[in-house]
Amino acid sequence: MPLIGDRFPEMQVQTTHGVMNLPKDLAGKWFILFSHPADFTPVCTTEFVAFQNRYKEFKDLNCELIGLSIDQVFSHIKWVEWIKDKLNVEIQFPIIADTGAVAEKLGLIHPSKGKNTVRAVFFVDPNSIIRAIVYYPQELGRNFDEFLRMLKGLQISDEQKVAIPANWPNNEIIGNKVIIPPPTDITAARYKKEKYQNFDWWFLYRELEAKES
């Protein structure tokens, strides 16, 4: 089972958009791979609609989406057609048809939940490194605005070498500001405390840097 910081394992998968080689085909992009227990189930249907409704926002952040469950590709295709016909939402991202091999490799089968995949989410960066993993139980639908927040936070952390506070950008202490990594020696502690807003030498923060246009 891969962990945060590991390279996403190489695999060839059958999807509703054809065969894909992961992570190779998405090198240079972020991608989110998310598993769902089964097609034609109500909670999963609400999740796919929620992801699709935010798909453009993810793509604007250089991020692709990939679904997965242990269902045949024919089931995926019919389910996607049902969502379009009944809910007027066209699912535009690929869904992996898994025989169980991918789920086993990624640790998506939990014994207490039978043979269906749990609701797992993998965030993978442009260097094919797993940056975050989130698990939900089968009975609880996911919060997709949180996944957008996580993606933005990871990208800002990489670009500006900062940490992201709780509930950012609406943190109860520092609002939409970001946290400066704490200094590791006395000289740096004095310098950083003078340079940045702070509550103490180990809790320093600043405004987010504006992106160059």
Active site residues: 44
94's tokens: 């690929």
Sheet holding 203-206, edge to edge: 178-180, 203-206, 197-200
3-state secondary structure of 208: coil
Q: How far apart are CA 29 and CA 55, in angstroms?
A: 14
Q: How far apart are CA 74 and CA 181, in angstroms?
A: 49
The DSSP H or E segment spanning 66 is strand 63-69
Q: Concatenate the DSSP letters of all residues of 136-191 into one string.
A: E-TTS---HHHHHHHHHHHHHHHHHT-B--TTTTSBTTTBT-EEEPPPSSHHHHHH
